[in-house]
Amino acid sequence: MTVKNRLLCLSWGVIDSLLFIKKLVWNCGIRYLWCNLWVRKDEFHWTLDTDVEAALILGNRYFSNLIRRRGIAHRNDLSVKKFGG
């Protein structure tokens, strides 16, 4: 393996690591906390969609939180429709 090929492999490894850190900080950190700040009144809000990258990293914790938030939003949406507000 030449020096050029080794440097190329090393650069791809660094890029891959940076992308993983970006996913960890953005999807599992900032965006995850932002979506948990308040419960949406509309059960079809974009923050209640499944974020695959966050789900792969957080696993069961992500899905249990998502199901809880969807349930609360569904109940809120039903109460709004029931009372016409």
Count how many domains the chain has: 1
Q: Give residue 85's pLDDT.
A: 55
Nearest Cα neighbor of 37 from 74, 80, 75, 69 is 69
Nearest Cα neighbor of 56 from 19, 12, 23 is 23
Q: How far apart are CA 17 and CA 8, in angstroms?
A: 14
Pair 39, 72: CB distance under 8 Å = yes
Residue 1, in any domain of the structure: no
Residue 38, in any domain of the structure: yes
Domain enclosing residue 48, as ranges = 26-83
Q: Give residue 63's pLDDT.
A: 92
85 residues of the chain, pLDDT tens digit each: 687 777 667 777 778 888 888 877 777 778 888 877 777 777 888 888 888 888 888 889 889 999 998 998 888 888 777 666 5
Single pTM value for the model: 0.65
